[in-house]
Each structure stands twice: as C-alpha cells, then as structure tokens.
Amino acid sequence: MRVLIASCSVTYEGRLGASLPRATRLIMIKADGCLAIHSDGGAYKPLNWMNAPNTIEESRDRIIVRNPKNETLTIDIFEVLTDFSHEMGDDPGLSKDGVEADLQILLAAMPESIEPGLTLIRREYPTAVGPVDLLCRDASGQTVAVEIKRRGEIDGVEQLTRYLDCLHADTALGKVRGIFVAQSIKPQARVLAESRDIGWCEVDYDALRGKRPDELKLF
C-alpha cells in the first residue's frame, strides 16, 4: 500500500461531476489498484474513491485514475508532506462473529428465505475488493449479490455497493442486482439501499435455525 499526504485538489468526471478544492488530504493507493482520498474526519468513509480495476497515470504534480466505465479521478498535487509505501502481504480476511457466520451458512442453504425462487450459485464469491457473502440467481435468471450482517447499518450498504461496482464489470454475470440482509436494518440503511436500487430483507435468526436443513452448503 502507498500512503500519500499532500496538499491537493480533486476532480471527478463520470456519472456526475464533482470536485474538491485545495486542502491537505490522505491518499491511499492499494496494490490492487483501488484509490481512496480521506480528510481528517468522517470516520471510515473517503471523500472520493475509485474501485479496482483502474489504470493509474502519475506525473510529478498529478495523478490520474481511470476505470473501465470511463470514470476519471484527477488529483492535482501542490505539496507533498508524506509519501511512503509498505508491503502489507496476504490478508486472511474478516473473521465474522458466530451469529453472522451462522446466518451466512443458513441462508446459503435456504436462499428462498431471502426471496422466493432465489438459488445459490456460490458462497464467498471473490471480487477485487473482497468476497460477496452469497452470489445467487433469482427466479428470472438474474444474478443477485447478497451481503449479510447481524445488524444492518449504512456501512453494510456501502460495502455491498463496492461489490456491485466490481460485479457489474464482469460481463459473464450479466446484469447484477443486490440484496442487503440482516436481522434488523436501520431506517437510514434502508433509505440508502433503496436510493441505490438495492433490495433489503430482515430475517429471523431463530426461525432460520428452526428450519435448518440436514445438509448445509459450505460453498
């Protein structure tokens, strides 16, 4: 990973136009090509970002990031304060708590509990930004990405959005839609999901355990 702290301005061109005026910001460039720009606040959410796959062009005072959807992020650098890289190595991935992990196993075995007619393609389907909990197919044959949380909050919707951005670039999957699943989903997360055409579903963990099939699907 490369970490760059610099005085910079940012211009995005793509689905809409957006810009950030000159200020001191943190720029993270990951080995897979993902780039994120942060300010000193706002917790985990970047001011702007580009998910892999990207092409990155760099000169002395400018970084230009382009993706296959013809979106462009241009970073004009006025002063570099810190610039270093560090090899992170392989990450073992997120270890989920017992309830969340068990929910994924149960719903992989019973995807129709999320939506009638839903069938499992694969658990932990890999993308450039991490594995999708469940990749399924609906009754009409459309591919469906399912992200599962114990508590449904905005960050879970953001995570599923990143997965969908990657899956949309895989033409072999055809059109892909998403469903956010949790035991309970906060109203703000519901509104955000609906604004992005992402479905949502609340499930009853105890009821699913009561319907547990004899053979649970591990993959």
pLDDT in tens, the chain (219 residues): 999 999 999 999 987 888 999 999 999 999 888 999 999 886 677 899 898 889 999 999 999 999 988 899 999 999 999 999 998 887 766 555 557 888 999 999 999 999 999 999 999 999 988 899 999 999 999 999 999 999 999 999 999 999 999 999 888 899 999 999 999 999 999 999 999 999 999 999 888 887 765 444 444
**Which pTM value belongs to this model?**
0.58
Sorted by where each starts, the structural domains of the chain and their CATH numbers stand as 2-85 (2.70.180.20), 98-210 (3.40.1350.10)
Long-range contacts of range 194-201, CB-CB < 8 Å, 24 or more positions apart?
A: 196/157, 196/161, 198/157, 198/160, 198/161, 198/164, 199/115, 200/152, 201/114, 201/115
Burial state string for 161-196 with b = 16 or more CB within 10 A and e = fewer than 16: bbbbbbbebeeebeebebbbbbbebeeebbebbeee
